[in-house]
Amino acid sequence: MTHPVPGTCPVCGETLGVRRLHCRRCDTAVEGHFELPRLARLSPEQQDFVETFLKVRGNIREMERELGVSYPTVRSRLDEILRALGHRVERSQDQERRRERRREILDALSRGELTADEAVRRLRDL
């Protein structure tokens, strides 16, 4: 029985390295200092997400259906994975404006300035 290779240390969270590789067929062993592939450093949940993303060929609408989550959730998880792989994730100005507008609508709703139906309509129009 084999277990998946952990990508991070369970004690301190640092990226783990590999010291020994072994062939089960011929019993050859290679020792040294090896780095795990970057994708192996992702959590099991993130690896499953990437596999699903590849399966649906990057179609975010299919990801929504496959995972039963919203578009923003898919985008958020993609951003988390990119960060985990060491990539910088920047929000575009358009995304920031929509986020701010969404916050304004929800604040107006909480102050009673909008009905729930009006807030939903405005959020959908973003």
In a domain, 80, yes or no: yes
Domain that holds residue 101: 93-124
pLDDT tens digit sequence for 68-126: 998 888 988 999 999 999 998 887 666 777 888 888 899 899 999 999 999 999 898 87
Residue 27 falls inside a structural domain: no
Closest CA to 21 of 32, 10, 11: 32
- In total, how many domains does the chain have? 2
Whether residue 59 lies inside any domain: the answer is: yes
Residues 16-50 pLDDT 10s? 899 999 999 999 999 999 988 889 889 899 999 99
Enter the pTM of the model. Answer: 0.62
Identify whether 19 is part of a domain. no
Residue 56 lies in a domain: yes
Residue-wise pLDDT for 14-24, tens only, equals 888 999 999 99
Cα distances from 65 to residues 34, 39, 44, in angstroms, run 38, 24, 20
CB 83 within 8 A of CB 89: yes
Task: Look at residue 57 and tell me whether its pLDDT is greater than 80.
Answer: yes
* Residue 24 is assigned to a structural domain of this protein: no
Same domain as 104, residue 70: no
User: Cα separation of 39 and 45, whole Å?
Assistant: 12
Question: 82 near 75, Cβ under 8 Å?
Answer: no
49/75 same-domain check: yes
pLDDT of residue 82: 94
Examine residue 12 and state whether it is found in any structural domain, yes or no. no
Shared domain check, 76 and 98: no
User: Is 103 inside any structural domain?
Assistant: yes
Does residue 65 sit in the same domain as residue 97?
A: no
Query: Which stretch of DSSP H or E encloses residue 82?
Result: helix 71-84
